Structures are given as structure tokens and as C-alpha cells.
Amino acid sequence: MTSLKSRSYWLLSLGLVVLLFVVAQQLPQLQLFPEDWNLGWREPINDFKRWVVINRTTHWLFLLIFEPLSAVLDFVIRFVEDVLLWLPWPIIVLGFFLSANKISGLRLALLVTACLVLMGLFGLWKESMQTLALMSISVIVSLLIGVPLGIWAAQNDRVDAILRPILDAMQTVPIFVYLIPVLLFFGVARVPSAIATIVYALPPAIRLTNLGIRGVSADLLEAADAFGSTARQRMRKVQIPVAMPSILTGVNQTIMMALSIVVLAALIGSGGLGDVVLKSLRRLRVGSALEAGLAIVVMAILLDRFSAALGQRSIQFSQPQFQGFRLFPASWQANGFAQRIEGAIDALYVRSGNLNAWIKSRLPERFRSDWASMLLVCAVVAIPLLLLGIDNFPRDWNIGISKPVDNLVEWMRVNLYNIGDSGIGTGPFRDFLIVQIFLPLTNFLTNVVPWTVIVLIATVLAFRTGNWKLTIGVVLMLVFVGLLGMWGFAMDTLGQTLIAVVLCILLGIPLGIWASRNDTVDQLLRPVLDLLQTIPIFVYLVPVIMLFGTGSVAGLIASLVYSIAPVVRLTNLGIRKVDETVKESATAFGSTGWQRLIKVEVPLALPEIMLGINQTTMMVLAMVIIAGLVGATGLGLEVIQGFANDNLGRSVEAGLAMVMLAMVIDRIAQAWADKAAEAANLKA
């Protein structure tokens, strides 16, 4: 019966689409979005920008709010940056080593040390410290705002209800769009970069703090009330400590999101590693861009592992720590060489512990802690290094990889563009995509399919997967895109997005299935996917441009590489989560491996697969604007040209249209994933 209703719904919907398509051919207003409906926001926005430029030095809004805020942030960022650049590089490495060892042991300490040294070996120590200063201040401010807001939202359902759509919008808005208002009110340099980073990285801190506190057991809260705790004492002594792992996970996610915007922030003068990537891109120096990109990856690994270790610290220290080997895996306990190395490490730890105890015994009682002892050691070691003038990482230690990478890319450009004049290569492939796919699809969505038909199709999908509230929201957002005068550009962007998402699905789902069936493939794919998700978006464009030239194809290939990871990961996760008893039952009923996969595992894993497709779609949309920098058409190019031509209104209109398009796709995909979970009896 349900299947019959579903079939009837789709047949009726198809009939309505065909009918509207025919009617629209006779009525121009239903075919092309009417130009006289344009809201005309461009000129008022440009007028407002001119007003801001004229009144920046005189109006109270800037004198009392924006300028003082900018001055304070600029002072703090410069102070931290100056301290990091003033300190001898061995002291920074030593400080991170001792802190990581204190938090999680020798393995993390060595990993952190290797990450820092690698930044120096790439010849990017100064730029790395500048980026670290900007990221540190941005993350701290994000947490100072986000954690209290998360606590407030956990205590007040109304605040939670107000914040939720705001956070949804903040996470859906493409990164580039954040730069528009920040650039307007704060100009260029470090401060607007920090503010854009703070806004972009804020949602995880709020969400995970809220989630952690709401997840505290009701029994614990009742026990605290029974012992006479006030609301403040209950929050400080029960809820926050119990929620700390979730809060620290939010810290970790905030750090990762802050690092993901570092290259874009360089567009408005943040400096650091992002600036190196950007300048290398403009000069098409692939090797230099890759070096700086890898330095950002290394910094992401350092901060990710460090913050993740903080999140696990309460669990680690609730058990006897550092039992067994400190460096080698426990499975090596029978290895004589490993035993000798571990014995030497243990002896070194014993002597270090004795030195630490001696130092603490000489400190005032209130300062007797391991952290104070480590700080004193770093200060004592720093004095002779400063006297010797040792500060920046030695230049002659540089092991740069830029020249070999440049040579490799140049060879690929020459030899792979058209292999032996055979018509096979990156050049013919690009031409095929443009002539056979991009242009026909763009023309179809922009000129053939009436705008009313596209709105109707989105309405049908929204109503089928969600409810009336979602349906009305989808219709309003799509109509708003037209009212901004961006319908044609939005359809161009939609076409590029559809192509990239389809390619990601065609490649990603089979890879995810293969990884779920083969642990070796899973282990090989995992570091590759980590790397793909950590490398800054801009870095993907450099080799792609060299191989495929500028334009939409370069954006497509870069989007594919950047966005494929979520669908691979979540397909793998979803199939691995399927209950073994269900698989065994299917086998017992005579199903082949292929039948079990198609009829049991994939349907049960569909919620995760749909979530992966949703995340991939959002990442493709984030890449669309970046692709505009290399000539890809659509909304991304409109945003970029608005910046380049000092036409803020154009950038704002295109940015808002991008937000609306992203939210429509995101909401329908989320509703579809929820529907799949309900169908699989995985959601209440």
C-alpha cells in the first residue's frame, strides 16, 4: 500500500512538472525569472559601503565600537606573534614537547616535536609562528564566546531554539561570504582575518558545549540537588566536569575549522602560511604552495592531536598511565631491542622525575607544580640561547621540496596534456567536459528549464522528504535567489555542483564499500583521506590549473578531490555498522555476497551514506567560490569579480544567493537522510 502511494505521488508530481513546463512556454514570466522583480539591493549596498569609507574616522559606531575592538585584537595578536618570533625556536619546541609529554606521554611529544621541526625544515618557521599566533587568539576568543553561549543554551530551551537556526546558517554559509561584511567594517590585515575566523569557527564550540551539558545524567543532577547544591555550584562542580570531554571535542573542532579558513584569510591580509600559499598560487609556483600547504597540514595535525589528547586526559589519568612501553607498541614487549630502548627511556624518565622533584622543592609552596617546573626549565634554557642570538630556525637546514614538485608538474603539463597527439590526455578530457557536459547542462538549467519548474521540482522533493515547513522554506529561499537577480548564475553553479557531486558519488561509494570489506584498503585510504581533508582548498587548484588550465573544469577536478572524502568515510562507516547477526541471517537464507550488499547492507547504511552525500555537497559548494578565482563561472565568479571591481553589492548578492542555494540543498539532503534512517528503523 505504501509503495502504491509513493508511486502515485511521483507520477502525479511528474505530471505537474510536465504540465507546468508546457504552460511556461507560453508565458514568459514563468519561463525566465522576471527582471522587474529584482529587489535592487546592489546600489544601496554600494552606497552603504561608500558611507562607511567616508565616515570610518568620524562616526561614533566606528570610534566607540569597531576601532577599539580592532585595536585590542590587533595588540593581542601582534603581542603573541612577537613573543613567538622572539623566543628561540628550540624553546618553543621544548615547551611543546614537555607539555605534550605531560598531557599524553612520549609518543605525542615526539609527534608534536616532529611537526614543529618540519615547519622549520620547509623554511617556513616565521610564517608558521604568525599563523599559530592568529589561530591561537581566534580560537581562544571563539571559546570565550562559544562555551558561555553553549552553557546558556543548555540551560534555556528558548535560547537553544533561537541559536540553532543561526548556527545552521553559520555552518552552511560558504567561507568566502564571511569576508564580505568583515572587510567592510574592519578593512584589511590581521584583525578582520581573526574576526572572520572567530565567526566561522564558533558553531562547534556552542553546539558541543550545549550537547555535553544536556547529556549529563539526570541522576547526577538529582544527587547534586539532594546535597544542597545551588544552580551555579551544580553547573561548576557537576555539569561542566562531566561534559568536559564533549566541550574539549568542540575545542578540537573549533581549531580545525579555524585552520581551514587560514588561506582565505590571507586574501584580506592575514599573512603567515596562507599568504605564502596565495602568492605561490598567483605565480603558479606549485612547489612553494605545496610546501606551505603541507606546513598548514602539519600544524593541523599538531593542534588536532594536542587538543584531542586534552579531551582524553581525564580518561587517561583515571587509570595507571604509561604502563608498558612508552614508545613502541605493546605487541613488541618480547622484542629484545625494543626492551633495551624502553629501559633507557625509563631510566631517563626516572632522572627527569628526580630533577623535577628537586626543582619543585626549591619553589614556593603555592607554585609547586609540574607546569611551574617546566616553565622554569624553559626560562633557564632560553637565557643562553637568547644571549647567543638563536631565534629563527636555521636557514641552511632547509629541505625544501618546491623545485622537484615544480619539475614534476611541468613534466606532467607537457607530457600529459595530449599524449603523443593521440587525442587522449588532460586537454582533450577538459574539452570533452566543457563541450559535452558543462555547456549543455548550464544551457539546459538556465535557458531550457523554466525557473518555475525548478522551484516545483524542489518543492516536490522537500515535501516528500520533509514537511510543509521545509517545503515553504525551500520555495522562499529559491524565489529569493531570483529576487536578487542571480537566478542564471545560481543555475550555472547548481549544474557544476550536480556534476561534481555525481562524480563524487560514482567514485566515493564504491571506494567506501571496498574499504568496508577490506581492512587493508581501509588502512591505506585513511591517511589519504586525512590529507585530502586537511590540505587547504587553494592548494588543490595549483596542480589542477597546470594540468587542465583555468575555467570550470579546473574547479570541477579540484572540487572532486577536495569533496570526495566524506562520502567514502561515511559509506565505509555505515556498512561496517550493520549488525553482524543481520549479515549472517542474510547468508543463511542463501544470499550471495553481492545480494547481501545490495539488499541488506546498503539499505541499512543508507542514513550514513546520505549524510556523506550531504557533507560532500556542502564541500563542493564551498569550493565553487574558490574555483571562481581560476575562471569557473557562476556565483563564485560573481563574488570574486565583485571584490575585484570594488562592487560590494554584486558580491553580497552573489554571496546571499550562494547561502540560499546551499541551505536548500542541505535541508533537503538532511531530511532525506532522516527519512532513510526512519525507513531502516534506525531513528525513533
Residue in the block written with cell 590529507: 531
- Cβ–Cβ under 8 Å, residues 21 and 453: yes
3-state helix/strand/coil string of 330-361: HHHCCCHHHHHHHHHHHHHHHHHHHHHHHHHH
pLDDT at 483: 94
How sure is the predictor about 480, in pLDDT bands with cuts at 50, 70 and 90? very high
- 315 against 119, higher pLDDT: 119
Which candidate, 565, 579, 575, 583, places its Cα nearest to that of 608? 575
Residue 297 maps to a domain = no
Mean pLDDT of all residues in 390-406:
82
- Looking at the fold, whether 607 and 645 belong to one and the same domain comes out as yes
pLDDT at 314: 46
Q: Other C-beta atoms within 10 Å of 184: how many?
A: 17
Residue 532 maps to a domain = yes
How sure is the predictor about 193, in pLDDT bands with cuts at 50, 70 and 90? confident
Residue % of the chain over a pLDDT of 90:
8
pLDDT at 456: 92
Mean pLDDT of all residues in 367-392:
85
- Looking at the fold, whether 460 and 567 belong to one and the same domain comes out as no
Residue 554 maps to a domain = yes
pLDDT tens for residues 250-277?
A: 777 787 777 777 666 776 767 788 888 8
- Looking at the fold, whether 479 and 559 belong to one and the same domain comes out as no
Give the residue numbers spanning the domain of 3: 1-31+449-483
How sure is the predictor about 172, in pLDDT bands with cuts at 50, 70 and 90? low
- Looking at the fold, whether 441 and 587 belong to one and the same domain comes out as yes
Residue 228 maps to a domain = no
Mean pLDDT of all residues in 123-128:
89
- Looking at the fold, whether 460 and 570 belong to one and the same domain comes out as no
- Looking at the fold, whether 466 and 424 belong to one and the same domain comes out as no
pLDDT tens for residues 537-564?
A: 666 676 777 777 777 777 778 888 888 8
How sure is the predictor about 677, in pLDDT bands with cuts at 50, 70 and 90? low
Q: Tell me the pLDDT of the chain averaged across its residues.
A: 81
Mean pLDDT of all residues in 604-609:
80
What CATH code is carried by the domain that includes residue 621? 1.10.3720.10
User: 105 φ, ψ to 5°?
Assistant: 110, -175
Query: Which amino acid is present at 363?
Result: L
How sure is the predictor about 97, in pLDDT bands with cuts at 50, 70 and 90? very high
pLDDT at 684: 42
Cα separation, 78 vs 70, whole angstroms: 12
- Cβ–Cβ under 8 Å, residues 504 and 561: no
pLDDT at position 520 over 60: yes
What is the domain count for the chain?
2
Q: How far is CA 186 from CA 53, 235, 268, 492, 656, in A?
A: 11, 37, 10, 32, 20
Mean pLDDT of all residues in 430-459:
86
pLDDT at 539: 66
- Looking at the fold, whether 462 and 528 belong to one and the same domain comes out as no
Cα separation, 677 vs 654, whole angstroms: 34
- Looking at the fold, whether 453 and 432 belong to one and the same domain comes out as no
Answer with the one of 467, 483, 499 that is the final residue of a domain.
Answer: 483
How sure is the predictor about 593, in pLDDT bands with cuts at 50, 70 and 90? confident
pLDDT at position 322 over 50: no
Mean pLDDT of all residues in 184-196:
79
When mean pLDDT is compared over 83-92, 155-164, 571-580, 609-618, the highest value belongs to: 83-92
Residue 559 maps to a domain = yes
Q: Which three cell numbers, joined as nine digits, stand for 658?
A: 550562494
For the ranges 173-182, 393-402, 590-599, 611-620, the lowest mean pLDDT is seen at 173-182
Mean pLDDT of all residues in 74-89:
90
For the ranges 375-389, 437-451, 660-674, the lowest mean pLDDT is seen at 660-674
pLDDT tens for residues 506-516?
A: 999 999 999 88
Non-local (6+) Cβ contacts of 345 within 8 A are 106, 326, 327
How sure is the predictor about 113, in pLDDT bands with cuts at 50, 70 and 90? very high
Residue 60 maps to a domain = no
- Looking at the fold, whether 528 and 436 belong to one and the same domain comes out as yes
Residue 41 maps to a domain = no
Q: DSSP letter at 633?
A: -
- Looking at the fold, whether 513 and 497 belong to one and the same domain comes out as yes
How far is Cα of residue 315 from the mean position of the Cα atoms in its chain? 27
- Looking at the fold, whether 641 and 674 belong to one and the same domain comes out as yes
Give the distance between the most distant pair of CA atoms in the chain.
91
- Looking at the fold, whether 625 and 671 belong to one and the same domain comes out as yes
Residue 607 maps to a domain = yes
